[in-house]
Structure 1
Amino acid sequence: MTGLYEIRADYDAHTIVVYQAYAPAIAEPALAAGRFVPPFSFHRMTWLKPSFPWLAHRSNWGRKPGQERVLAVRITREGWERALSAAALTTGDPGALARAEVHVQWDPERSPRGAALNHYSIQVGVGRQLIRAFNEEWLVGLTDLTPRVRKAAALVHAGQLAKARRYFPAERDYPLPRPLADRLCRGS
């Protein structure tokens, strides 16, 4: 997928990294266990963001209350594509969205300074029906990126964008099967 709607991500042959930001009360037990454990909620949708710049913007560089810890969540590509195959667009049919196990929305990608860019980044909401699979079958590892995010934020705020980008994970266009890409971008 290239163009207006892009899934840009850090991935390899078997896994993809998505980002999430949590309060320390959720992040610390998850990091210690190597997977999500209470007080993480298995009863509400959890949003996966493969774009590091978008997550940095959304969490205000890990300074937004309740989003102080930024985690890199490495999951299997098989699980990621299973989630996308079960998705309904948030801008699509409300009935289909209400029945969907996964929600997909497209938001403007962000520059390091937070400005909206002219292409869109995917956000994937995994519903209650699949959260256990996400945690027990798809999850490969968790990494605390908070120190890295704070260093990048300090450099961005100091106007040193080139240096800040060194702390950004390498992301590139994620290849989706054409029918899935066509369905996810339709009507966005």
Structure 2
Amino acid sequence: MQQLYGIRADFDADTIVVYQAYAPAVADAALAAGRFVAPFSFGRMTWIKPSFRWLMHRSTWARKPGQERVLAVRITRAGWEEALGRAVLTTGDPALLARAEVHVQWDPERSLRGAALNHYSIQVGVGRTLIRTFAEEWITGVTDLTPQVRRIAGLLQQGRTAQAQRLLPPERPYPLPRPLAARLGAGG
């Protein structure tokens, strides 16, 4: 049985993949440097998502202005769990949220066609105080998934859902430490 609130991701023993969509200038600079550099904004919160399908819904399959390029950002699991350890739920105490370094919200997971599903995916907002740590210490690699995204979107438009499904990045339940899961409302 699938958990109502759970993290599903592409991960290995040391790293986890999160997805982000950017304008070409930001994506090109990040790909060249292997991490985020200008014109990436270090002055505002950046949202990272381990759910590929949720980002496809958010970016309209890389067709939304300013989100035309989809990046798979591989970060350390230690960094990921550090961020989650500093997080405050967006549905929690507004005063705590205002001071939080990291925001967490749970949004309905999405089908390939964008329909809301009956379980939730995590979205993590890394705040200004941790942005440089995220960009300079946690990131181990950046990959451009835009060609893959366009291929999947094309297959979906042609009604070839099974083929599109096979091109999705692998995602499986992420083993969040119990205290962290309880704090974030995961697992229920």
TM-score of the aligned structures, taking structure 1 as reference length: 0.97
2:182 is paired with a residue of what secondary structure?
A: helix
**Counterpart Cα distance in 1 of 2:72 and 2:139:** 11
**Counterpart Cα distance in 2 of 1:88 and 1:158:** 41
**Counterpart Cα distance in 2 of 1:157 and 1:185:** 36
Matches within 5 A, 1:42-57: 42-57=42-57
**Counterpart Cα distance in 2 of 1:123 and 1:75:** 15
* Aligned-residue offset at 1:12: 0.1
* Aligned-residue offset at 1:25: 1.2
1:75 match? 75
* Aligned-residue offset at 1:161: 1.1
TM-score of the aligned structures, taking structure 2 as reference length: 0.97
Which residue identity does 1:4 align to in structure 2?
L
Segments of 5+ residues of structure 2 without an aligned counterpart are none
1:152 match? 152
1:91-135 deviation line (CA, Å, top 9, x unaligned): 000011011100000000000000000000000000000001101
Aligned length: 186
1:28 match? 28
2:10 is paired with a residue of what secondary structure?
A: strand
1:112 is paired with a residue of what secondary structure?
A: coil
2:170 match? 170
> Is 1:122 the equivalent of 2:113?
no
**Counterpart Cα distance in 2 of 1:15 and 1:64:** 28
1:131 match? 131
* Aligned-residue offset at 1:48: 0.4
2:41 match? 41
**Counterpart Cα distance in 2 of 1:169 and 1:98:** 34
2:44 is paired with a residue of what secondary structure?
A: coil
Which residue identity does 1:129 align to in structure 2?
T
1:41-79 deviation line (CA, Å, top 9, x unaligned): 001000000000101111000000000000000000000
2:72 is paired with a residue of what secondary structure?
A: strand
